[in-house]
A = this chain, B = another copy of it.
Amino acid sequence: MENITVTLLHNGSQTTVKSEKNAVLLSILQQAGVGEAAHSPCGGKGTCGKCKLRIVAGTCDTPTERELRFLTEDERKAGIRLACFTYALGDVTAALSDEAAQILSAFSGGGAIAPIVTRHYVVLPAPSLEDQRDDWTRLKDAIAMPDARCRPAVLCTLPYALRAENYAVTVTCAGNQVFSIASGKVATPLYGLAVDIGTTTVVMALVNLQTGEVADTESGLNRQAAFGGDVISRIQHAIEDTNGAALLREAIAEQLNDLAKALCARNGLTAADIPAITLVGNTVMAHLFLGLPTAEIARAPFIPVCNDTIKAPASSLGLHLHPEAIAIIASSVSAYVGGDITSGILASGLANEEALALFIDIGTNGEIALGNKNAIVSCSTAAGPAFEGGHIRCGTGGVAGAINSVHIENGTPIYTTIGGKPPIGLCGSGVLDVAAALLNEGILDETGYLESDDEEDDIAVFRLTDKVYFSAKDAREIQLAKAAVRAGIDTLLHELHTTEADVQTVYLAGGFGNYMDKDSAVRVGLIPAALRDKIVPLGNAAGSGAIRLLLDTAAEAALSDITAKTTYFELSANAFFQSAYVEQMMFPEE
């Protein structure tokens, strides 16, 4: 039996799977544990049309008429297929469809990337009495960088490097900073690291700086969780424990070192070869990593130490990479609109467009931005963790066995679970779906009243399985969460003196945005109905932004530009928001 390799590009990372030839892509991905990446509410029956992938490279079967019904003309031309219909006839590289477009827009034109670290192979003319240029000027002339700079510690190596192979050298530069000079031609690829420091999860991508490809990714739960699960409890730890801030800083730095080591080991590299790392995270994650005090973030008026992009030697931040490696930490807008949002906006392209667009990242906080290339307004709403399955009686994260899509047929709930595993609870998209379905069925009314005889602990519930149910209290959580996000949207529209009709695109960042059902989101009132067809899920937009900071020297300035033109609205002091919040607490009528 012939084996093939299937590579899936997703969330700015890639997963490689060995498989038999002529297998269906969806089953290959499910076997590899990344089935949920190819969202398949119908469970692969070929009825929902949601498991769209873009075939980037490799040979697959020809799509049937039945498959083509689910695809627009544009999608067909772009190489989009449904994973459940597609047979891999050889090695295949596929990308999640929405994200594929995203990655393409971020790094359009593979040859045109301009990474922040570059390598130059040059052969210099040998010196003579007629040409007594110093070694450094000789090198600058050869690489055509008259304004190049070099630290003494690196200059020390220059005369030896030049003379070892007859003035042939490979020079590694970050902008105008030369930071290593090796004799002869260095053939090994040059890699950088892009990191998304989430409060919960830390994801690191190993990025080939010459091709722009994400070679590998590695992730883990943020080790700071040992000191507190959310940002506020970590800030409290930093304040109350004498050594708290240092321990938090060391925890994340060590985790990054370990992730880098693991990625390097797996790819035949050593961390000391890595010349650059870009990091994005919310304002608190950035502060804790940089060792900046966080006390003023937690209490009114919520003041960060520094919102600017920080560019510093990686070594000064406790990272064990190339001794001269640079680290870039993305700028934030305010205490609660951080570098994850600015880099997500960067990746979305919103800040380059004439048309008005919304950018929404729904997590415990719902961060929302509205704007275009001229100006952006932003806010952060305390949505609560309902859309992450938190504060929900039978809630769970996006793990195997989580019910991730629900609809009700003739009063009977029909659901899918992640990985097709036995149901263990409701994840964010499942919670959203069940609320929408109950509204459609009239079981839940617009005030949030759940009409049911079934009860758990004296609270009315709608049961999906023996053990998994949706309660009246869960409905309340959904109301609070969606009202916060929706009131945030309304407030920003109000602040820009505009309406939903002017919004051309709604970028949804993060996992929930990727997996939620658009109709359900509209049904519960999370997203205005008028915007339903303008939704573009971005996946891990923050991570894409981090990768972009590695691969595009112009991205750092673009990020600063985004930060500079983004106004933050503090909702705790905003009367319009307060009234919109109360108003949006109701579910919409059908």
Minimum C-beta distance from A254 to chain B (A): 17
**Contact residue among B301, B304, B334 (Cβ-Cβ distance under 8 Å from A128):** B301
Mark A552-590 against chain B: 1 for CB-CB distance below 8 A, else 0.
Answer: 000000000000000010101100000000000000000
- Contact between chains at B136 and A293 (CB < 8 Å): no
| A453 proximal to B (CB < 8 A) | no
A305 touching B570 in the complex, CB below 8 Å, given contacts A129-B300, A334-B132, A335-B132: no
**Contact residue among B129, B151, B303 (Cβ-Cβ distance under 8 Å from A132):** B303
- Measured between alpha carbons, how far is A335 from B296 in the docked complex, in Å? 55
Q: Which residues of B contact A137 (CB under 8 A)?
A: 306-308
A127 touching B292 in the complex, CB below 8 Å, given contacts A151-B316, A306-B134, A316-B152: no
- Measured between alpha carbons, how far is A365 from B125 in the docked complex, in Å? 29
5 tightest CB-CB pairs across the interface, nearest first? A136-B306, A134-B304, A134-B307, A129-B573, A152-B290
| A158 proximal to B (CB < 8 A) | yes
Q: Which residues of B contact A135 (CB under 8 A)?
A: 296, 303-306
Q: Which residues of B contact A316 (CB under 8 A)?
A: 151-153
> Which residues does A use to contact B, with CB under 8 Å?
127-137, 150-153, 155-156, 158-160, 290-293, 295-296, 300-308, 310, 312, 316-317, 334-335, 568, 570, 572-573
Q: Which residues of B contact A291 (CB under 8 A)?
A: 152-153, 156
- Contact between chains at B573 and A130 (CB < 8 Å): yes
Q: What are 14 contact pairs spanning A and B, CB under 8 A?
A: A127-B301, A127-B303, A129-B570, A129-B572, A129-B573, A132-B302, A132-B303, A132-B334, A135-B304, A136-B306, A137-B306, A151-B312, A159-B303, A160-B293
A296 touching B159 in the complex, CB below 8 Å, given contacts A291-B152, A306-B134, A308-B136: yes
- Contact between chains at B303 and A134 (CB < 8 Å): yes
Q: Which residues of B contact A152 (CB under 8 A)?
A: 290-292, 310, 312, 316-317
A159 touching B129 in the complex, CB below 8 Å, given contacts A153-B316, A305-B135, A316-B153: no
Minimum C-beta distance from A234 to chain B (A): 17
**Contact residue among B151, B158, B160, B305 (Cβ-Cβ distance under 8 Å from A159):** B305
A305 touching B132 in the complex, CB below 8 Å, given contacts A290-B155, A292-B155, A296-B159: no
- Measured between alpha carbons, how far is A152 from B136 in the docked complex, in Å? 30
Nearest residue, chain B, Cβ from A152: B290
- Measured between alpha carbons, how far is A572 from B295 in the docked complex, in Å? 67
- Contact between chains at A129 and B310 (CB < 8 Å): no
Q: Which residues of B contact A134 (CB under 8 A)?
A: 303-308, 334
- Residue of A152, A293, A308, A573 with highest tally of chain B CB at under 10 A: A152
Minimum C-beta distance from A326 to chain B (A): 13
Q: Which residues of B contact A292 (CB under 8 A)?
A: 152, 155-156
- Measured between alpha carbons, how far is A300 from B572 in the docked complex, in Å? 73
Minimum C-beta distance from A583 to chain B (A): 23
A293 touching B156 in the complex, CB below 8 Å, given contacts A305-B135, A307-B134: yes
Nearest residue, chain B, Cβ from A138: B303
A158 touching B573 in the complex, CB below 8 Å, given contacts A132-B335, A152-B292, A296-B135: no
